[in-house]
Structure 1
Amino acid sequence: MNDDSRMRSWERRTTVPLFVASLLFLTSYAVRVLDTGLSPFWDRFWLIVTGVTWACFLVDYGVRLRLSGRGLRFVATHPLDAVVLALPLLRPLRMVQMYNVMKQRHQEPVLRLYARVITYASLTALLLGFAASLAVYRAERGAPGASILTFGDAVWWACSTLTTTGYGDAVPVTPTGRIVAVVLMACGLALLGAVTGSFSSWLLQTFARPGDERRPPKR
């Protein structure tokens, strides 16, 4: 079995467990951010869950680095994997791998192209928005001059940032909050472009008349 085959085999076996680990990581992070009255026992418990799930991501990255047979070239050709390892809250960006595994198991696409793009983009936006809300709320609460004082403020800010609206009524003032904002703005533009492009292509295909593509342009 060559390196590529072993890599695909490993990814097929670990995609679902790692997806569950991602949800556990997000849950443990959310509990520790939102519940400020946690007892020392539960705070330690959720901290251990966070550490164990991140260790799973680290092991997965190390195994795939080994199986690739490319050494440090693997890092250069898979930059998203390195970013997600350093910032596990961005793991929703890896959801497309979950779909690829489902497609391979069914031996056919589970959804049509346009439905795949819109579904993937919507779920990714939902999870990224929730993760960004947690991160910015943790960074901003209690900061001098902060306008994001509650988790509801953080959710409102994340929604307006993802949709590139930016009302300006809630803005991060801390360095960490602004870094989260930059990442969320970039992701929001990418997801909005993907959905808009897919929807436009679907409209063109739906309303195109037979023979339109063969009709010569008018002069």
Structure 2
Amino acid sequence: MDSDPRVRAWERRTAMPLLTLSALYLGAYAVLVLATGVPRDVRLAVLAVLLAAWALFAADYLTRLALSRDRPAFARSRWLDLVVLALPLLRPLRVVQTYARARERRGGPPRLTLEAQVIVYTGLTTVLLGFAASLAVYQVEHAAPGATIRSYGDAVWWACSTLTAVGYGDVFPVTTRGRVIGVAVMLTGLGLLGAVMGTFSSWLVNRFRQATGPVPDEDRPPPS
């Protein structure tokens, strides 16, 4: 996290508004993809919401960059923010950062243990990313020649099986853009699954140590 106090202050103030804006962006994108029978004026309004939200995301990034005293270091350390700005559907990846900054603004101790927080954040991120991925792959696949993802239900099934690294292969993207989305979902799913498994393993080890107590000195193995 950036150590510049001006950047930190800005992020604390904008954490919850940006989280709300991210939800609005995802909801507007869902309407654009799924509500095919809406009037043209409504679709134009939804597009305007998407563009306005993206403009605010860009303004937030540029503002933080301008506030930073070391801009090259900011750009290097916040590469994920730049990726999310280019691909707004990946904004669920910033849920952990946004929630942490909101908690910092309100103050007070965390209500969950570190392991529980990681699992909750990862679960929420997985659900949101799965929703976004299913929308994106449905948009580019359902009308393509030879497509196997014909309905939104197919897209949800594909997103779930891909995120969990199961990959049944009964439905799969056939377009180039759909396959690019698939690669991104695979890599993200592996990362999220690794985070959950690592955190759960750490929790088990800590609980085992608490249950068994410290190892006496005479029972410790001799140093090699």
| TM class by smaller structure | over 0.9
Cα offsets for 1:179-207 (capped at 9, x unmatched): 11111111111111111111111111112
Change (3 A) 1:212 1:147: farther
Change (3 A) 1:175 1:213: farther
Partner Cα separation in structure 1 for residue 29 and residue 199 of structure 2: 33
Residue in 2 aligned with 1:98? 98
8 Å CA contact retained: 1:102, 1:110: no
Aligned length: 217
Task: Give, in angstroms, the shift of residue 115 of structure 1.
Answer: 0.6
Task: Give, in angstroms, the shift of residue 96 of structure 1.
Answer: 1.1
Aligned partner letter, 2:75:
V
Change (3 A) 1:102 1:18: closer
Residue in 1 aligned with 2:213? 210
> What RMSD in Å do the two structures reach over aligned CA positions?
1.7
Task: Give, in angstroms, the shift of residue 100 of structure 1.
Answer: 1.5
Residue in 2 aligned with 1:62? 62
Residue in 2 aligned with 1:157? 158
8 Å CA contact retained: 1:148, 1:171: yes
Segment of structure 1 superposing worse, 70-79 or 58-67 = 70-79
Task: Give, in angstroms, the shift of residue 103 of structure 1.
Answer: 3.1
Partner Cα separation in structure 2 for residue 165 and residue 198 of structure 1: 21
Task: Give, in angstroms, the shift of residue 107 of structure 1.
Answer: 3.0
Residue in 1 aligned with 2:183? 182
* 1:43 equivalent in alignment to 2:47: no
SS for the counterpart of 2:71 is coil
Task: Give, in angstroms, the shift of residue 68 of structure 1.
Answer: 1.0
Change (3 A) 1:47 1:213: farther
8 Å CA contact retained: 1:32, 1:38: no
Residue in 1 aligned with 2:76? 76
Structure 1 portions without partners, runs of 5+:
none
Partner Cα separation in structure 1 for residue 113 and residue 216 of structure 2: 22
Partner Cα separation in structure 2 for residue 107 and residue 83 of structure 1: 32
Partner Cα separation in structure 1 for residue 50 and residue 216 of structure 2: 54
8 Å CA contact retained: 2:163, 2:189: yes
Partner Cα separation in structure 1 for residue 15 and residue 75 of structure 2: 19
Partner Cα separation in structure 2 for residue 211 and residue 4 of structure 1: 41
Partner Cα separation in structure 2 for residue 11 and residue 73 of structure 1: 17
Residue in 2 aligned with 1:28? 28
Task: Give, in angstroms, the shift of residue 213 of structure 1.
Answer: 8.1
